[in-house]
């Protein structure tokens, strides 16, 4: 079973797979994902991040001055992967940055990590959210 995904600016609609209960549970329970962004020189920048996943979208909180944020300003396409390589869960999407923190997302980070995603981690450095709607999944070795 597939469900409708985002509608692209050119009017076409992508489709995304319905995720299995085990994948949904991992997205809800696992603490870390690997976020891959692209540096200005074209090389990959991979970093572990805390995340929440809701309705086809990954949310990642970070300092506004982070390398990943600078990379996204030049190239917004990203990949996110859960840590278990035996049963891969990899998502591709286009990230957007926002200084707005939707209350349900803030609550989800608090529930999952006992952490205020809006709170600065360094003096004088603001926080932002990366919003990554899934464009494509790689699940158990199959691109979908």
**Residue 109: exposed, middle, or buried by beta-carbon count in 10 A (0-12, 13-18, 19+)?**
buried
- pLDDT given at position 4: 39
- pLDDT given at position 9: 39
Q: How many CB atoms lie within 10 A of CB 50?
A: 16
CATH number of the domain that residue 78 is part of:
2.30.110.10
* Containing structural domain, residue 132: 2-143
pLDDT over 80 (residue 6): no
Into how many domains does the chain fold?
A: 1
For 70-113, write each residue's pLDDT tens digit.
999 999 999 999 998 788 999 999 999 999 999 999 999 999 99
């Amino acid at each position: 079973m597939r469900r409708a995904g985002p509608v692209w600016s050119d009017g076409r609609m992508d489709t995304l797979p319905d995720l299995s209960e085990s994948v949904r549970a991992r997205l809800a329970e696992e603490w870390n994902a690997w976020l891959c962004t692209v540096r200005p020189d074209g090389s990959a920048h991979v970093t572990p991040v805390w995340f929440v996943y809701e309705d086809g979208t990954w949310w990642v909180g970070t300092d506004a001055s982070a390398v990943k944020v600078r990379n996204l300003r030049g190239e917004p396409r990203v990949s996110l992967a859960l840590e278990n390589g035996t049963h891969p869960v990899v998502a591709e999407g286009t990230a957007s940055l926002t200084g707005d923190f939707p209350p349900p997302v803030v609550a989800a980070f608090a529930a999952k990590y006992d952490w205020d995603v809006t709170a600065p981690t360094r003096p004088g450095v603001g926080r932002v959210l990366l919003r990554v709607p899934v464009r494509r999944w790689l699940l158990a070795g199959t691109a979908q």
